Amino acid sequence: MEHDMLAGSLGEVFAGRIEGRFFVPSYQRGYRWGTADVLRLLDDVWTSEGDRYYLQPVVVKPAGDDRWELIDGQQRLTTLYLIMHFMQRANLQNQGPGYSLEYETRPGSEAFLSEVNVDLAGENIDYFHMAAAYQTIEQWFDRHGTLRQYVANKFYTLLFERVVVIWYQASAHDDSTDLFTRLNVGRIPLTDSELVKALVLAKTREVMPGTGRAEEVAAQWDMIERQLQRPEVWGFAAGGLQPPSTRIDFLLDAMAGGPTGRDRPRYFTFETLRARIDPPEGAPWPLAFWQDVLDIHATMMWWFEDRSLFHKVGYLMYLGEPFRELIELAAELPKSEFDEALTGKISARLDLSEDELGDIGYEHRASKCGDALLLMNIETARTAAYAHARYSFSEHHAQRWSLEHIHAQNAEPLRRAEQWRTWLADHRAALDGLDAIDGAQRERAVAEVDRALGDLTEASFRAAELAVTRLLTAENGGGDDVHGLANLALLTSGDNAALSNAVFEVKRRTLIERDRQGAYVPPATRQVFLKYFTDADAQQPHLWTETDRAAYLDAIRSTLRPYLRTTSQGAEL
From first to last of its 573 residues, what are the pLDDT tens digits of the chain? 333 433 457 778 999 999 999 999 888 888 889 999 999 999 999 988 777 888 888 989 988 788 999 998 999 999 999 999 999 999 999 999 999 999 887 788 889 998 999 888 888 888 999 999 999 999 999 999 999 999 999 999 999 999 989 888 887 777 787 777 766 655 556 788 988 988 888 888 888 888 889 899 999 999 999 999 999 999 999 998 888 888 999 999 999 999 888 888 878 898 899 888 877 665 556 788 999 999 999 999 999 999 999 999 999 999 999 999 999 999 999 988 999 999 999 999 999 999 999 899 888 889 999 999 999 999 999 999 887 889 999 999 988 888 889 998 777 788 899 999 999 999 998 888 776 676 788 888 999 999 999 999 999 999 999 999 988 888 755 555 788 999 999 988 765 676 888 899 999 998 898 899 998 999 999 999 999 998 877 677 888 999 999 999 999 999 999 999 987 554 443
Helices then strands, each counted (H, E), the chain: 25, 8
- Could you tell me if 55 and 76 are in contact, meaning their C-beta atoms sit under 8 angstroms apart? yes
Distance, CA of 254 to CA of 268 (rounded, Å): 12
Own/partner pairs, 410-413, CB within 8 angstroms, 24+ separation: 410/465, 410/469, 410/501, 411/465, 411/469, 411/498, 411/501, 411/502, 412/501, 413/497, 413/500, 413/501
376 closest CA partner among 499, 516, 485, 236? 485
Domain ranges of the chain: 9-190, 205-350, 417-560
**Secondary structure (DSSP) of 122-175:** GG-HHHHHHHHHHHHHHHHHHTTGGGHHHHHHHHHHHHHHTEEEEEEE--TTS-
Give the list of residues 6+ apart from residue 275 with CB closer than 8 angstroms, or none.
none
Q: Write down the pTM of the prediction.
A: 0.77
Q: Give the CA-trace dihedral at 297, 299, 300, 305, to 10 degrees.
A: 120
Distance, CA of 318 to CA of 312 (rounded, Å): 10
- The dihedral built from the CA positions of residue 117, 118, 120 and 125, taken in this order, carries a sign that is positive
Amino acid at 3: H
Give the list of residues 6+ apart from residue 172 with CB closer than 8 angstroms, or none.
61, 62
